[in-house]
């Protein structure tokens, strides 16, 4: 393996892990507090990507990002308030409802945007390539930007969870929901806020991921699966776990693609199966 | 555990027997036989959930593996595999599916609830990825096509009426099998497992063995569905074991209500009807929206599935009778 | 009560005639099913295919051989089991007489095998271009009035080696039947001349992340041959462009097709100068092509800037059908025997040259070597470099020898 290839694999893994972390963070938050497996997470990602594309085409990329996050966040709040809240405690039924929503949303998006692939036009500062030192070639600037975004998201969520009253309530809720309610927190409203936050993250990730790669039907299923794997491997409700899971999965994929390209995709599932079978609560998760 | 009322069962049985004499081939083959085939695979999921408390998204993968094994050992247009006499090929296919089921059960023995759903989903997706990438056994993206169904004398098994009889007959047999199994000591232990596996282990039962056996049985049922599916389609490709296919089986099982085994077939019939005629009634290609919406309504408001509507009817009847009795008694001077 | 006034009698007559016109009886209709990929990575080509069919039907005012033609379109997604399910719906539910399609390579193979089980329906290939659809084990009721993926590469390998002096080429390709045929066509000529292909990188259809592939491209090659279609091509070019790569590029027939050249995005800078080969050339000045382009632009102002090869192929298939129907005066009796015989002996003047069929009902066609260029309005188009006329399925080699070489696939041909 040449140095160039090694450096590329290292960077590819890191940037892909950043993308997976950004996408999975919303899923992890919702899974962590509400114990809801939001199988519509991928559909929300795709919705954010399309909304972001429309807004970005008219007003610019940054507005697209903002619009995607807000719009999908509002939808998430609506989902929690009207559909999921009444099923609180029935994990399986909640998962089924989100599956139904993902089917409907996926099909409606297909109807509206068709089967074409869309490419974002990121701002010029973010597009193009960065020349790596020592004649190692170029590397896409936007992918390096992903690392920055992932760090920002991670830091922001960490501050929220560990340095605010809201975050304290969320963490308490993971351990004991009843006690939280007894202490006077408006639990239903808290849940709506959390779900909206998770959905907003999905929408944001849609624009980010869409700009790094592209937007097309089928991306919803792909990112749902990757978020599932990342959160399972890393552990429920743990941000650090999501980061660890993202790194593990991304590097497994990239190294796999170099060593045995035909079956590299399988590696992701093998890892997920192995972790679920042996340590169901994930590497850094708690019971 | 609910069972359909005996009178309803006789009506359905009579209708199914008379159907070949009345309905055109299109309906026999593309509606009822197809519903029976999907229903069989959904039955395996429904069985595991209702009596074992385990939602397995790997049932379509089991069916698909059996179909691939059958295609590989039959004469096919892709030039792949070793053609064997069809009874032997059938035996091999059913074994493949059953063993896969047992393996899934073993891997999943330590997981429960939603984790089990995700684990079996991952297993299903793993099978899909492998089938899509491997050329030697699965013929990768193209799949194996041009597969001929076996012939009994001069009768081809995928001609409309023989296929209808075969699939509906097998569906009925498997339903009887499920209803029988759940009343055996094994079936009762399984239900105990569903309610609390720790208690069951404390009583001395081998929990893992029971789970593996249940999954093996489900795998066997799914295999039967898979082979029938192969004969119906005349081919098998990775798309048949992908995420959409697995989700469809879940949708069918839920539509039928996860509380009684026969529901799987009701759900399958509704699904196939929607799929076939929605394109003519609804906006051309939006039948996925329709099915998704129906699915949502069922999950939210009809936990017993579409068969829950019959419960609704009987409940209404009882309510009106009680009311009438009440009125009568109050009108006695 | 019913007064036999002149008014009511003529009203009755009008009602009767309109009733007769509205309810065209089955024997005065030809039902045609169209299979096109309206979902997935080939959604845009799929849309253009349907435009091609519509243009051909417009030419004959939706009527041929004295019968009116009804078109029913079913969308697919390039997966073999979906296309067969849709074909069955067309045959068993809609009772079509002819099916035009499918679009994608692996769909074509599945449909070929399906067609053997429904001898009563005639299948005319849309744009699917895998070799094996007609080369091995053909179906008697499946007709392909166009070249296959291998034929479309005629001249490219030779030109790349002799004229452009590319002696080492790496290949990035989708991993299914049609690209296998394209790589085969290229390498037959290229390897025979002494060219070397040190790396072949296969990616699953619909891949979005090409970072690993780009990282593995050898740095000591003269050119990269990219055999990706539709949205995959767009995504790869964009990511390659962002890596700052400078290699020369050659494309497969659908890599630089109009559905890709018309797309928006930063990848366009990467494509100019890209060598390719296929069934069409955008600035071809043959009169049939020019009138086809004019008709396309007039009818579809919202379509692509110029018709894609998919529109061309579906148009030719439909034209073949209408020509044959006219010649047999709409006679589809006896399992469409006369209709099929006529199709087998037909020579169609397609927009991109004459097409006639060989013994396997496979087209013998003209192939165009092209290079991507930009016109004054900033639009990208395929500039004609060279035409090779009358290319057959074995690229001029004797059939037995060609077949004996082996099936196109991941490992064959090979010249590292």
Cβ contact B133–A265 (<8 Å): yes
Residues C105 and C79 in one domain: yes
pLDDT exceeds cutoff 80 at C13: no
State ipTM: 0.86
Per CB-CB distance under 8 Å, the chain C contacts of B239 are: 79-82
pLDDT band of residue B307 (cuts 50, 70, 90) is: low
φ and ψ at C119, to 5 degrees?
-65, -10
Answer yes or no: is pLDDT of C366 > 90. yes
- Counted domains in chain A: 1
Q: How far apart are CA C374 and CA B191, in angstroms?
A: 70
Return the residue of C nearest to A255 by Cα: C212
Residue C265 lies inside a defined structural domain of this protein: yes
Distance CA A219, CA A223 (A): 6
Query: From CA C77, how far away is CA A20, in angstroms rounded?
Result: 27
Confidence band for B332, pLDDT divided at 50, 70 and 90: very low
Check residue B3 and give its pLDDT.
Answer: 54
Q: Which chains touch C (3 or more CB pairs under 8 A)?
A: A, B
Q: Which residues pair with C370 in a beta bridge?
A: C276, C384
Identify the band that residue C370 occupies on the pLDDT scale cut at 50, 70 and 90. very high
Substitution target in C36, C45, C216, C241 with the highest count of A β-carbons within 10 Å is: C216
Contact B235 C175 (CB under 8 A): no
Q: Do C208 and C354 fall within a single domain? A: no
Residues C90-137 have pLDDT tens digits of: 999 889 999 998 999 999 999 999 999 999 999 999 999 999 999 999
The CA–CA distances, whole Å, from B268 to A33, B55, B250, B280, C409 equal 35, 17, 10, 19, 39
The pLDDT score that the predictor gives to residue C18 is 44
Q: Is residue C7 part of a domain?
A: no
Nearest CA in chain B to A111: B286
* Residue among A193, A150, A245, A196 nearest A44 (CA): A196
Q: Mark yes or no for CB contact C243/A137 under 8 Å.
A: yes
Q: Check A140 against C235: CB less than 8 A apart.
A: no
B26–C80 C-beta distance less than 8 A: no
3-state secondary structure of C410: coil
Among B222-226, B277-281, C161-165, C195-199, name the one with the lowest average pLDDT: B277-281
Q: How far is C147 from chain B (nearest CA, A)?
A: 20
Of the pLDDT bands very low, low, confident and very high (cuts 50, 70, 90), residue A213 is confident
Tokens 């050339």: give the residue.
C281
A273 contact residues in B (CB cutoff 8 A)? 107, 119, 122-123, 126
- Using the predicted structure, report yes or no on whether residue A115 has a pLDDT greater than 80: no
pLDDT (average), residues C158-168: 93
From chain B, the residues in CB contact with A265 under 8 A are 129, 133
Predicted confidence (pLDDT) per residue in C31-45, tens digit: 999 999 987 778 888
Give me the residue from C80, C92, C175 closest to B237, CB to CB: C80
Q: What is the mean pLDDT of chain C?
A: 88
Contact C264 A222 (CB under 8 A): no
How close is the nearest chain C Cα to the Cα of B106, in Å?
31
Q: CATH number for the domain including A272?
A: 1.10.3470
Distance from CA of B122 to the nearest CA of A (A): 6
Least trusted range by pLDDT, from A245-254, B12-21, B162-171, B238-247 = B12-21
In a domain, C13, yes or no: no
- Asked if A78 reaches chain B (Cβ–Cβ under 8 Å), the answer is no
Alpha carbons C44 and C260: distance in angstroms, whole number: 9
Taking contacts as CB-CB distances below 8 angstroms, the residues of chain B near A225 are 125, 243
Residue among B41, B48, B118, B35 nearest B306 (CA): B35
pLDDT in tens, A17-49: 999 999 999 998 888 778 888 999 999 999 999
How many CB pairs below 8 Å do chains A and C form together?
A: 103
Q: Is the confidence at residue C387, as pLDDT, over 60?
A: yes
Q: What is the pLDDT of residue C305?
A: 86
Share of chain C above pLDDT 70, in %: 94
The two three-digit tokens of residue B221, written as one number: 């049922």
Least confident of B90-94, C90-94, C97-101, C256-260: C256-260
Q: Give B77's contacts in chain C (Cβ within 8 Å).
A: 112-113, 116, 137
Q: For residues A165 and A162, what is the distance between their CA atoms, to the nearest angstrom? A: 8
How confident is the model over C267-271, as a mean pLDDT?
81
Q: Which two tokens stand for residue C408?
A: 């196109």
Q: pLDDT category, B328, cuts 50, 70, 90? A: low
Identify whether residues C34 and C136 lie together within a single domain.
yes
pLDDT exceeds 90 at position C61: yes
Residue B330 pLDDT more than 60?
Answer: no
pLDDT tier at A282 (50, 70, 90 boundaries)?
A: confident
Strands C67-76 and C29-37: parallel
Binary contact (C177, B132; C-beta < 8 A): no
Q: What is the pLDDT at residue A247?
A: 94
Please report the pLDDT score of residue C20 as a whole number: 46
Residues C318 and C380 in one domain: no
Cα torsion A31, A36, A39, A43: sign: negative
Asked if B240 and C81 come within 8 Å (Cβ–Cβ), the reply is yes
pLDDT in tens, B12-63: 888 888 888 888 888 888 899 999 999 999 999 999 998 888 899 999 999 9
Give the pLDDT band of residue C228 (cuts 50, 70, 90).
very high
Chains that touch A (3 or more CB pairs under 8 A): B, C
Specify the pLDDT at position B301: 86
8 Å CB contact of A4 and C219 = yes
* Residues contacting residue A65 through CB under 8 Å, at least 6 positions apart: A52, A56, A204, A207, A208
Pairing of strands A129-131, A138-140: antiparallel
C278 and C170 in one domain?
yes
Same domain, C104 and C143: yes
How does pLDDT run across B155-192, given as a tens digit for each residue?
A: 788 788 889 999 999 999 999 999 999 899 888 888 88
> What's the pLDDT score for residue B4?
56
Examine the domain organization and report whether C215 and C233 are in the same domain: yes
Distance CA B234, CA B249 (A): 20
Of B55, B122, B299, the CB nearest to A269: B122
Q: Does A57 touch chain B (CB under 8 A)?
A: no
- The answer to whether residue C182 is domain-embedded is yes
Taking the Cβ of residue C76 and every Cβ of chain A, the question of whether any pair is shorter than 8 Å is answered with no
Domain span at C395: 151-283+367-404
Q: What is the mean pLDDT of residues A208-234?
A: 87
Residue reference for tokens 């809201």: A166
Nearest to C313 by CA among C69, C41, C63, C102: C102
Decide if C208 and A216 are in contact by the 8 Å CB cutoff.
yes
Beta bridge mates, C69? C30
Instruction: Report H helices in A176-238.
Output: 177-182, 187-212, 219-234
| A285 in any annotated domain | no
- Please tell me the distance in Å from B55's CA to the nearest CA on chain A: 9
Residue A174 scores a pLDDT above 70 = no
Strand locations in B157-293, DSSP E? Answer: none
Does B226 score more than 90 pLDDT? yes
Residue C255 tokens read as: 């890599």
Examine the pLDDT at C240 and tell me if it is beyond 80. yes
What's C194's domain CATH number? 3.40.50.2300
Q: Do A9 and C264 touch (CB under 8 A)?
A: no
Statement: residue B2 has pLDDT above 60: no
Q: Would you say B274 and A92 are in contact if contact means Cβ atoms under 8 Å apart?
A: no
Instruction: Name the DSSP class of C350.
Output: E
Query: Which chain B residue has the Cα nearest residue A82?
Result: B300
What does the block give as tokens for B187? 């079936």
Would you state the pLDDT for residue A220? 87
pLDDT of amino acid C23: 58
Angle at A16 between CA A13 and CA A20, to 5 degrees: 130
Contacts of C82 in chain B (CB under 8 A): 239
Q: Inspect the interface and report whether the beta carbons of A97 and B296 lie closer than 8 Å.
A: yes
CB contact under 8 Å between C204 and B132, yes or no, is yes
Whether residue C130 contacts residue C109, with contact meaning beta carbons closer than 8 Å, is answered with: yes
Whether the per-residue pLDDT at C329 is higher than 60: the answer is yes
CA–CA gap between residue B236 and residue B71 (Å, rounded)? 7
Query: Is the per-residue pLDDT at A182 higher than 70?
Result: yes
Chain B residues whose C-beta is within 8 A of a chain C C-beta are 26, 29-30, 77-79, 132-133, 135, 140-143, 145-146, 233-240, 276, 285
- Chains adjacent to B (≥3 CB pairs closer than 8 angstroms): A, C
Cβ-count burial B303-317 (b if 16+ within 10 Å, e if not): ebbbbbeeeeeeeee
The class level of CATH for B6-277 reads: mainly alpha
Q: Which chain C positions have a beta carbon within 8 Å of B141's beta carbon?
A: 80, 106, 175-177, 204-205
Q: Which residues does chain C have within 8 Å of residue B245's beta carbon, measured at their own beta carbons?
A: none
| pLDDT at A31 (0 to 100) | 85
User: Is C376 a residue whose pLDDT tops 50?
Assistant: yes
pLDDT tens per residue across span B113-164: 888 888 899 899 999 999 998 988 999 888 998 898 888 877 788 788 889 9
Q: What's the CA gap between B168 and B40, in Å, rounded? A: 9
pTM of the shown model:
0.88
Give pLDDT, residue B193: 82
DSSP label at residue C277: E
Domain that holds residue A261: 3-278
Would the CB atoms of A266 and B129 count as touching at under 8 Å?
A: yes
Q: Nearest CA of chain A to the CA of B86: how many Å? A: 32
- Among C84, C93, C205, select the one facing B141 at the smallest CB separation: C205
- Contact of C411 with chain A, judged by CB distance below 8 Å, is answered with no
Whether residues C144 and C157 fall in one domain: no
Q: Are C286 and C296 in contact (CB under 8 A)?
A: no
pLDDT at residue C4, as a whole number = 42
Q: Which residues of A touch B303 (CB under 8 A)?
A: 93
The band of C10, judged by pLDDT with boundaries at 50, 70 and 90, is very low
Q: Residue B132: its chain C contacts at CB < 8 A? A: 204
Domain identity same for C351 and C325: yes
Higher pLDDT, C270 or B116: B116
Nearest-angstrom CA–CA distance, C396 and C411: 23
The verdict on C180 and C135 lying in the same domain is no
């Amino acid at each position: 393996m040449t140095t160039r290839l090694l450096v590329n694999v290292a960077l590819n893994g890191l940037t892909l892990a950043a993308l997976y972390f950004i996408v999975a963070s919303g899923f992890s938050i919702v899974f962590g507090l509400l114990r809801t497996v939001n199988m519509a997470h991928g559909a929300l990602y795709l919705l954010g990507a399309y909304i972001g594309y429309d807004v970005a085409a008219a007003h610019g990329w940054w507005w697209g990002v903002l619009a995607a996050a807000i719009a999908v966040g509002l939808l998430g709040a609506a989902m929690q308030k009207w559909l999921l809240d009444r099923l609180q405690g029935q994990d399986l039924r909640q998962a089924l409802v989100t599956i139904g929503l993902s089917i409907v949303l996926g099909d409606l998006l297909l109807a509206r945007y068709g089967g074409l692939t869309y490419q974002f036009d990121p701002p010029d500062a973010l597009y193009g390539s960065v020349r790596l030192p020592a004649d190692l070639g170029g590397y896409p600037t936007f992918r390096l930007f992903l690392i920055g975004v992932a760090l920002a998201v991670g830091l922001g969520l960490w501050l929220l969870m560990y340095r605010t009253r809201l975050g304290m309530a969320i963490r308490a809720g993971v351990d004991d929901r009843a006690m939280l309610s007894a202490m006077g927190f408006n639990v239903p409203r808290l849940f709506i806020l959390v779900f909206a936050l998770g959905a907003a993250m999905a929408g944001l990730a849609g624009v980010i991921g869409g700009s790094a790669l592209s937007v097309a039907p089928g991306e919803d299923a792909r990112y749902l699966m990757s978020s599932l794997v990342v959160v399972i491997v890393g552990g429920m409700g743990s941000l650090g776990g999501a980061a660890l899971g993202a790194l593990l999965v991304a590097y497994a994929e990239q190294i796999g693609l170099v060593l045995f390209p035909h079956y590299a995709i399988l590696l992701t599932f093998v890892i997920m199966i192995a972790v679920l079978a042996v340590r169901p609560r994930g590497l850094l998760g708690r019971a | 555990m609910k069972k359909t009322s005996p009178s309803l069962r006789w009506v359905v049985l009579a209708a199914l027997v008379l159907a070949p004499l009345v309905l055109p081939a299109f309906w026999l083959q593309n509606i009822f036989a197809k519903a029976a085939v999907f229903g069989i695979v959904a039955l395996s999921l429904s069985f595991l959930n209702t009596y074992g408390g385990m939602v397995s998204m790997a049932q379509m993968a089991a069916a698909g593996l059996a179909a691939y094994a059958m295609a590989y050992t039959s004469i096919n247009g892709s030039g792949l595999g070793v053609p064997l006499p069809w009874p032997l090929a059938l035996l091999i296919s059913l074994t493949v599916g059953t063993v896969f089921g047992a393996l899934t059960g073993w891997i999943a023995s330590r997981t429960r609830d939603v984790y089990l759903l995700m684990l079996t989903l991952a297993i299903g997706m793993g099978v899909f990825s492998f089938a899509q990438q491997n050329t030697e056994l699965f013929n990768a993206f193209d799949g194996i096509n041009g597969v001929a169904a076996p012939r009994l004398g001069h009768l081809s098994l995928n001609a409309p009426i023989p296929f209808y009889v075969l699939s509906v007959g097998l569906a009925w047999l498997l339903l009887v099998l499920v209803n029988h199994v759940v009343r055996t000591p094994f079936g009762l232990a399984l239900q105990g497992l569903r309610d609390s596996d720790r208690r069951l282990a404390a009583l001395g039962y081998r929990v893992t063995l029971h789970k593996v056996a249940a999954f093996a049985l489900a795998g066997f049922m799914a295999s039967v569905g898979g082979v029938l599916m192969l004969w119906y389609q005349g081919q098998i490709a990775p798309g048949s074991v992908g995420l959409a296919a697995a989700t469809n089986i879940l949708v069918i099982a839920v539509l039928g209500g996860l509380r009684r085994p026969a529901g799987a077939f009701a759900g399958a019939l509704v699904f196939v009807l929607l799929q076939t005629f929605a394109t003519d009634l609804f906006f051309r290609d939006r039948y996925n929206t329709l099915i998704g919406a129906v699915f949502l309504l069922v999950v939210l408001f009809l936990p017993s599935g579409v068969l829950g509507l019959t419960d609704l009817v009987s409940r209404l009847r009882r309510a009106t009778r009680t009311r009438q009795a009440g009125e009568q008694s109050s009108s006695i001077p | 009560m019913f007064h036999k006034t002149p008014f009511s009698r003529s009203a009755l007559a009008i009602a009767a005639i309109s009733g007769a016109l509205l309810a065209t009886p089955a024997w005065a209709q030809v039902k045609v099913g169209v299979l096109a990929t309206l979902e997935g990575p080939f959604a845009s080509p799929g849309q253009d295919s349907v435009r091609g069919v519509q243009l051909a039907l417009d030419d004959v005012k939706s009527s041929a051989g004295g019968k009116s033609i009804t078109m029913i379109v079913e969308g697919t997604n390039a997966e073999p089991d979906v296309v067969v399910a849709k074909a069955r719906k067309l045959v068993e539910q809609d009772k079509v007489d002819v099916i035009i399609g499918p679009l994608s390579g692996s769909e074509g193979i599945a449909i070929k095998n399906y067609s053997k089980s429904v001898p009563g329906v005639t299948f005319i290939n849309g744009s699917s271009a895998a070799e094996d659809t007609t080369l091995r084990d053909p179906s008697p009721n499946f007709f392909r009035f166009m070249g296959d993926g291998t034929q479309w590469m005629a001249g490219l390998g030779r030109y790349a080696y002799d004229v452009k002096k590319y002696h080492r080429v790496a290949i990035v390709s989708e991993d299914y039947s049609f690209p296998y045929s394209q790589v085969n066509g290229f390498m037959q000529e290229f390897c025979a001349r002494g060219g070397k292909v040190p790396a072949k990188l296969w990616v699953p259809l619909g891949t979005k992340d090409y970072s690993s592939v780009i990282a593995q491209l050898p740095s000591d090659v003269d050119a990269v041959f990219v055999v990706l279609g539709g949205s995959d091509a767009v995504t790869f070019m964009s990511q390659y462009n962002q890596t700052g790569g400078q290699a020369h590029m050659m494309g497969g027939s659908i890599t630089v097709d109009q559905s890709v050249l018309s797309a928006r995005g930063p990848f366009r800078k990467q494509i100019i100068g890209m060598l390719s080969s296929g069934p069409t050339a955008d600035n071809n000045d043959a009169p049939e092509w020019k009138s086809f382009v004019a008709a396309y632009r007039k009818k579809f102002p919202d379509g692509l800037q110029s018709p894609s090869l998919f529109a061309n192929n579906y148009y030719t298939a439909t034209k073949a059908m209408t020509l044959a129907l006219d010649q047999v005066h709409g006679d589809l009796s006896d399992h469409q025997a006369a209709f099929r015989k006529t199709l087998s002996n037909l020579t169609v003047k397609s927009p991109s040259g004459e097409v006639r069929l060989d013994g396997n009902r496979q087209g013998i066609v003209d192939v165009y070597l092209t290079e991507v260029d930009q016109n004054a309005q900033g639009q990208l188009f395929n500039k004609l470099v060279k035409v090779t006329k009358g290319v057959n399925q074995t690229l001029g080699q004797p059939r037995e020898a060609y077949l004996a070489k082996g099936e196109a696939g991941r490992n064959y041909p090979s010249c590292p």
